[in-house]
Chain A
Amino acid sequence: KNEVEQSPQNLTAQEGEFITINCSYSVGISALHWLQQHPGGGIVSLFMLSSGKKKHGRLIATINIQEKHSSLHITASHPRDSAVYICGGNAGGTSYGKLTFGQGTILTVHP
């Protein structure tokens, strides 16, 4: 079993739909990163959160540390949101600088 698991692995949506991507982890992560990667592009950090909820534009991330679960929501999805979304975090201890990631969720939004 992977330490960080995302679901779904692939997600197809129509423009305007509300999208949810889930992330569950088994390691002692206290802060979770959500990253976005467009095809052929580098990685952009969307959020880092350790409790509650954060919002940036149409993106909302929530986390429940006790349940080791986080969700990324996209409201009013748009074709430009098509990308790979990756969650991961640092397990602490001697894991300096090491983020453990899920396999990513491939999101395709059709016009």
Chain B
Amino acid sequence: KAGVTQTPRYLIKTRGQQVTLSCSPISGHRSVSWYQQTPGQGLQFLFEYFSETQRNKGNFPGRFSGRQFSNSRSEMNVSTLELGDSALYLCASSLAGGRNTEAFFGQGTRLTVV
């Protein structure tokens, strides 16, 4: 069974631009969560989508947004990029996102903002 697929793997953008990252969850999984990983802050929760609805959101500015499609694939968008947005962005999929549901992570998208 295919794992969680994130595209692209690497991305270089300029300050002020916007970027869209994609995550295809494991087949049958309806919950997709996004995380930002930086050396200083570790893994920080961005948001979670379930059945095309955002159910949970972390403490990130409104420049960070996302959506989920009917096939459970999810995208996240970062507008007006800042240097500090350089990070590894990971998505995780699970059956339903509940507290005892195992999460499976993708390889991540490494974003560099110059």
Interface assignment of B31: CB less than 8 Å from any CB of chain A = yes
Chain B at the A interface: mostly helix, strand, loop or mixed?
strand
**B33 proximity list for chain A (CB < 8 A):** 97-99
Interface assignment of A66: CB less than 8 Å from any CB of chain B = no
A interface size (C-beta, 8 A): 29
The interface size bin for chain B is 20 to 34
Query: What would be 28 A-B contacts, judged by CB atoms less than 8 Å apart?
Result: A30-B100, A42-B90, A42-B105, A42-B106, A42-B108, A43-B90, A45-B105, A48-B102, A48-B103, A94-B55, A94-B56, A95-B99, A96-B48, A96-B56, A96-B97, A97-B31, A97-B32, A97-B56, A97-B97, A97-B103, A98-B58, A99-B33, A99-B35, A99-B45, A100-B45, A101-B43, A102-B42, A103-B42
Instruction: Give B residues with C-beta under 8 Å from A.
Output: 31-33, 35, 42-43, 45, 48-50, 55-56, 58, 90, 92, 94, 97-108
